[in-house]
Chain A
């Protein structure tokens, strides 16, 4: 995308040059925002860097936060496990990797059985 914009600047008139530079700046700013958001996620939810975690009984992914859908850097943990044993094993993955599950918004894709 950035390469296309630079090429346009070289072949267009003054006005489009100005416009293209602005777009390029936006691209840079957007890229910086993305870097900042990624840094926020790593800071707030360091387990995310080790995901996905895939086991025979479960799969753990990161995804959009339900609690904070518009907050930068907010992320939720999505656990897919079809039985109680898999869900328990997925929760143990956090402790095994020195993370505390209390710090994470955990969403069970397959609803646990017995939840009130």
Chain B
């Protein structure tokens, strides 16, 4: 056998090995992408942004490193695990969540709270309509006036104190109203304090806030 023939054979063997390794690497990545990684569809709604990334090292809900940030529907592939998601948007309070991705998942923006500035602006706009809806309560008896008014969540919940003309004789009361289909109605009678189990349809954060103001 000539040395040239031996070298050619060896080169062919090395070439075949390189191609085999290359194919294995390709196969590994394709396999991992298709079988191990999960499909995650991000669907931001109402002009919001969804940002997803690695959790911080302490396992909290802070974002360590952004993987994707989108304002339009998009699909990404992620390894199974726990991720942090930040929902945000103009006029909305940002909300951090944690998600454990073990299968194909769709993530949609939940109803986000409006910012205080936006709620205050809405209150100015809806104040007359709210006062009219509570007129039966405020006009009865002792000349109560609405005080410490506040809107909550998406501007569809309202609570206020009812301050009597003579607070030495009459109690300072509280009232909650709700906007549904564009119309405000009283969600509670006027009461000194609200027990959460008496009003299961009212978000408990609204009751806690007005009870403790």
Instruction: Report A's interface with B, CB cutoff 8 A.
Output: 67, 83-85, 87-88, 91, 95, 100-106, 108, 112-116
Contact = CB atoms under 8 A, between A and B. Distances in A.
A45 to B, nearest CB: 11
Interface in B170-189: 170-173, 189
Given A112-B171, A114-B142, A115-B173, A91 B198 contact: no
A102 B169 CA distance: 25
Interface of B: 136-137, 140-142, 144, 162, 164, 167-173, 189-198, 204, 207-208, 211-212
B171 A101 contact: no
Contacts of A114: 141-142, 144, 162, 164, 170-171, 173, 190
Nearest to B210: A102
Contact of B193 (A67, A85, A91, A113): A91
Nearest to A74: B197
Contact of B137 (A91, A100, A113, A116): A116
Contacts of A105: 195, 197-198
A85 B171 CA distance: 8
Given A102-B193, A114-B190, 12 more contacts: A84-B168, A87-B192, A88-B172, A102-B204, A102-B207, A103-B195, A106-B192, A113-B170, A114-B141, A115-B189, A115-B190, A116-B189
A67 B198 contact: yes
A113 B171 contact: yes
A103 B198 CA distance: 10
A113 B164 CA distance: 10
A102 B196 contact: yes
B173 A100 contact: no
B193 A106 contact: yes
Given A95-B212, A105-B197, A116 B140 contact: yes
Indicate the member of B137, B164, B190, B211 with the most A CB atoms within 10 Å: B211
Given A67-B197, A102-B207, A102-B208, A112 B169 contact: no
Contacts of A106: 192-193, 195
Contacts of B204: 102
